[in-house]
Structure 1
């Protein structure tokens, strides 16, 4: 059995993690149903600001720029 290369391991893990993130974003989109949930425009703004900030930080890590991690909350 051949040992998995770093490239093969990256592709396998990156594909799985990216698809998991996409699936979770779709689940988050389900929260947009006004018939099932109540939220404010401010809530939506906070959610998307947090997502955009994390996406930018993650991209920067691939570019070699470090940043601190923060947890999201609506409270």
Structure 2
């Protein structure tokens, strides 16, 4: 019976994690200022609500404290382990008419290098 429970947990966790990641990805689409107008306060409220919900779910699993922050990265490590560019550079590229899909594909590849296989399967 415990095999069925473990199997059910994995099966449902995979589906639900995929749904959560898709919802977060689609939420990110709202950041397009060409299509939407929003305030910093609205964005803070959205992500505050998400953080509260995550903390509540963690509590149900018995996770009471957030994990400690990772140690600071050196400049050269940060580029590969956290492949983000400053928003001003990204905005300049978009304004110049450069496509962002190439950057997004590159960023997804770099993120996948440091993401466990269980989670990587559900990233969009």
TM-score, normalized by length of structure 2?
Answer: 0.48
Higher helix share: 2
Number of residues of Structure 1 aligned to a counterpart in Structure 2? 62
> Greater RCO between the two (CA within 8 Å, min separation 6)?
2
Partner of 2:47: 48
5 Å-filtered alignment, 1:11-30, equals 11-30=10-29
Runs (5+) with no aligned partner, structure 1: 66-75
Return the offset for 1:47: 0.3
Q: Deviations over 1:35-73 (max 9, x none)?
A: 0000000000000000000000000001188xxxxxxxx
Indicate yes or no: 2:34 matched with 1:32.
no
Q: Secondary structure at the match of 1:31?
A: helix
Whole-angstrom CA distance in 2 between matches of 1:50 and 1:24: 14
Aligned to 1:63: 62
- Which segment is superposed worse, 44-53 or 56-65? 56-65
Partner residue in 2 for 1:9: 8
User: Which contiguous aligned blocks of 4+ residues in structure 1 show a shift greater than 4 angstroms?
Assistant: none
Over alpha carbons, which structure has the higher Rg?
2
Deviations 1:5-36, CA, capped at 9 Å, x for gaps:
00000000011001100000000000000000
